[in-house]
Chains A and B, each alone.
Chain A
Amino acid sequence: MASDLTENTTSTAPRVNNPIGDRLFRGALIAAASLILIILISMVAVMFYSSRLSIREFGFSFIIGQVWDPIKGEFGALPFIFGTLVSSLIAIVIAAPISVGVAIFLVEQAPKSIARPMAFLVELLAAIPSVVYGLWAIFVLAPFLRVYVQPPLQDVLGFLPFFKGSTTGIGMMTGGIILAIMITPIITAVVRDVLEAVPVTQREASLALGATKWETTRIVLANASSGIAGAIVLGLGRAVGETMAVTMIIGNRPEISASLFAPGYTIASVIANEFTEATGDLYLSALIEMGLILFLVTFIVNGLAKLLIFSVTRNTVQRS
């Protein structure tokens, strides 16, 4: 029909011939989007509400409280905050340089035919479930450390408080190492994206001045520095929230010790272990309050990471 031909066809113009269909469709989409908003708000609200008993009882001293005694009804989060922080820091210290190294190799040095399959294999590490890493840590990593790594370390560096105590293989060090393995793929993936986002002209400028490959790589790293920082922070966020592997290998003792060989306890682990056995409302409330702390910590850390990464990769596809 002639009138159809004169219809305005820009995508933002109001449609004349099917307002109801469009309205219903858009309405459905908005409803779905609103649902996710509702979910997050509910989660925060529920967690605050369920921790109110514990918040009222302990207030701020919850965070600095060192005693976790369900029988006496005394709950302090410090050992778990300590355990989470220390195990995650160990993980970052190990994983960050290695992941950056892998990313540099894959982006700057390896020929495409090697880089692509290798990148895929590194990403596969992220697909292995946490509980499987825990299983492997219990039966392979821990015994290995107990026999081949911890005794020599103690022999040489045992005068330091970090290497004192019995070397059982179960504890903070193993927890940190398994975490390092688990966060390596995500840090590598983000650093790869960030390095690839650095314009080729930066590399060309360096090479044209007579720089070696490595000197040029340093220029690329200078360009990507905030993105690399963001990747590492993202890895930290992951490490902080990891549950199963750590629970299976860290010893689950709420102690604060300077020794890397000592057992520890993380926020996620205590929730996983004691949640279903929490007798009493205060006990459960304390656990949920710890979940709230964990939630807030990961929220802040991940937010910071995204800010740093975004400043470099403005236009590229982002990974989770």
Chain B
Amino acid sequence: MGNIFEMIKISVSNLNFFYGKAQALFDISVDVLEKEVIAFIGPSGCGKSTFLRTFNRMNDTIPIARADGSVTIDGTDIYAPNTDVVALRRKVGMVFQKSNPFPKSIFDNVAYGIRINRIHKDKADLAVRVEKALYDAALWDEVKDRLQTSAFGLSGGQQQRLCIARALAVQPEVILMDEPASALDPIATQKIEELVVELKKKYTIVIVTHNMQQAARVSDRTAFFMLGKLVEVNPTQKMFTNPNEKLTEDYITGRFG
């Protein structure tokens, strides 16, 4: 932290977020740096998932949701009135808590984003891109012989890596992960965590997790949220050994949450 030459990828200023009359996020200001892994931690209901979803405007699907303040990615306010949300979501990918592959083949799942965005030049190019995405998601070897089979034939961990491949296929710059391993067994979880560390070389990653050890294992920086407020953000090492705030320390040592 403190390297003034690091680029800021996402910059949030005084963000207040509402579901109708209920306020979910209070005056959040934080930056996410290029190609870092930043973890959002905090007790249930603290707003970390809501905050994550402001980065790709997934909250738009809820009619009463409203954002007040600014969220800029690469300098552009994504909540500006004429924002192309479809393009935003291609740039900022998302992996969900429970894997949600489409009822299609493995190949078609990964190809979906490529096809609708018309990224590929032809069928051969499509196949190349699908293979690359699966490779980058550490799934290629396991599925290369059965690309046309249903995605539901995969294990939970494999399905989640498939969802990551699907997200990678559209060439995002930021990947949002909402508790990606919470539904997986320890071995599958480990695979996902290794993947996150590998992906950080090319992508900016924001990961929400309720598992503090996971945050400690994979992230460069960690942000601690509580009741819709950002309590503290610091390099992970410092956060878990010598946090600034007492509240943070109490949470980390398990005094509550």
CB of B73, distance to nearest CB on chain A (Å): 14
With A219-B102, A222-B104 in contact, do A203 and B61 touch (Cβ < 8 Å)? yes
A109 at the interface (CB under 8 A from B): no
Q: Which residues of A contact B89 (CB under 8 A)?
A: 207-211
CB-based contact A210/B167 at 8 Å: no
B22 at the interface (CB under 8 A from A): no
CB-based contact A208/B94 at 8 Å: yes
Encode contact with A along B85-124: 1 for CB under 8 Å, 0 otherwise.
0111111011010101111100000001100110000000
Compute how far the CA of A306 lies from the CA of B33 in the bound complex, rounded to whole angstroms. 54
A316 at the interface (CB under 8 A from B): no
With A204-B100, A222-B102, A222-B103 in contact, do A209 and B113 touch (Cβ < 8 Å)? yes
Q: Which of A250-279 contact B (CB under 8 A)?
A: none
CB-based contact B86/A204 at 8 Å: no
CB of B227, distance to nearest CB on chain A (Å): 25
With A111-B63, A204-B58, A222-B102 in contact, do A210 and B170 touch (Cβ < 8 Å)? yes
Q: Which of A86-120 contact B (CB under 8 A)?
A: 111-112
Q: Which residues of A contact B87 (CB under 8 A)?
A: 210
Q: Which residues of A contact B163 (CB under 8 A)?
A: 205
- Interface size bracket, A side: 10 to 19
Compute how far the CA of A290 lies from the CA of B170 in the bound complex, rounded to whole angstroms. 59
CB-based contact A209/B167 at 8 Å: yes
Q: Which residue of the partner chain B has the closest CB to A224? A: B103
A69 at the interface (CB under 8 A from B): no
CB of B62, distance to nearest CB on chain A (Å): 10
CB-based contact A211/B56 at 8 Å: no
For A201, A208, A223, which residue has the most chain B Cβ atoms within 10 angstroms?
A: A208
With A204-B58, A222-B103 in contact, do A212 and B98 touch (Cβ < 8 Å)? no
Compute how far the CA of A222 lies from the CA of B93 in the bound complex, rounded to whole angstroms. 22
B166 at the interface (CB under 8 A from A): yes
A166 at the interface (CB under 8 A from B): no
Q: Which residues of A contact B61 (CB under 8 A)?
A: 203-204, 207
CB of B15, distance to nearest CB on chain A (Å): 20
CB-based contact A202/B102 at 8 Å: yes
Q: Which residues of B contact A111 (CB under 8 A)?
A: 63
Q: Which residues of B contact A59 (CB under 8 A)?
A: none
Compute how far the CA of A204 lies from the CA of B96 in the bound complex, rounded to whole angstroms. 9
Q: Which residues of B contact A112 (CB under 8 A)?
A: 63
Q: Which residue of the partner chain B has the closest CB to A225? A: B103
Q: Which residues of B contact A201 (CB under 8 A)?
A: 96, 98, 100
A215 at the interface (CB under 8 A from B): yes
Compute how far the CA of A143 lies from the CA of B89 in the bound complex, rounded to whole angstroms. 53
Q: Which residues of A contact B56 (CB under 8 A)?
A: 208
A280 at the interface (CB under 8 A from B): no
Q: Which residue of the partner chain B has the closest CB to A211? A: B116
CB of B203, distance to nearest CB on chain A (Å): 15
CB of B179, distance to nearest CB on chain A (Å): 13
CB of A278, distance to nearest CB on chain B (Å): 52
CB-based contact B170/A205 at 8 Å: no
Q: Which residues of A contact B112 (CB under 8 A)?
A: 206, 209, 211
Compute how far the CA of A204 lies from the CA of B98 in the bound complex, rounded to whole angstroms. 12
Q: Which residues of A contact B58 (CB under 8 A)?
A: 204, 207-208
A19 at the interface (CB under 8 A from B): no
Q: Which of A199-249 contact B (CB under 8 A)?
A: 199, 201-212, 215, 219, 222-223
CB of A176, distance to nearest CB on chain B (Å): 33
Q: Which residues of A contact B98 (CB under 8 A)?
A: 201
B residues adjacent to A (C-beta < 8 A): 56, 58, 61, 63, 86-91, 93-94, 96, 98, 100-104, 112-113, 116-117, 163, 166-167, 170
A-B CB proximity, top 3 nearest: A210-B90, A208-B94, A209-B113
Further contacts, 17 of them, CB under 8 A, given A201-B100, A209-B90, A210-B117: A111-B63, A202-B102, A204-B94, A205-B100, A205-B102, A205-B163, A207-B58, A207-B61, A209-B117, A210-B86, A210-B87, A210-B89, A210-B113, A210-B170, A211-B112, A215-B116, A223-B102
A residues adjacent to B (C-beta < 8 A): 111-112, 199, 201-212, 215, 219, 222-223
Q: List 27 A-B contacts (CB under 8 A).
A: A201-B100, A202-B102, A203-B61, A204-B58, A204-B61, A204-B96, A204-B100, A205-B102, A205-B163, A205-B166, A206-B112, A207-B58, A208-B94, A208-B96, A209-B93, A209-B116, A209-B170, A210-B87, A210-B116, A210-B117, A211-B86, A211-B116, A212-B116, A222-B103, A222-B104, A223-B102, A223-B103
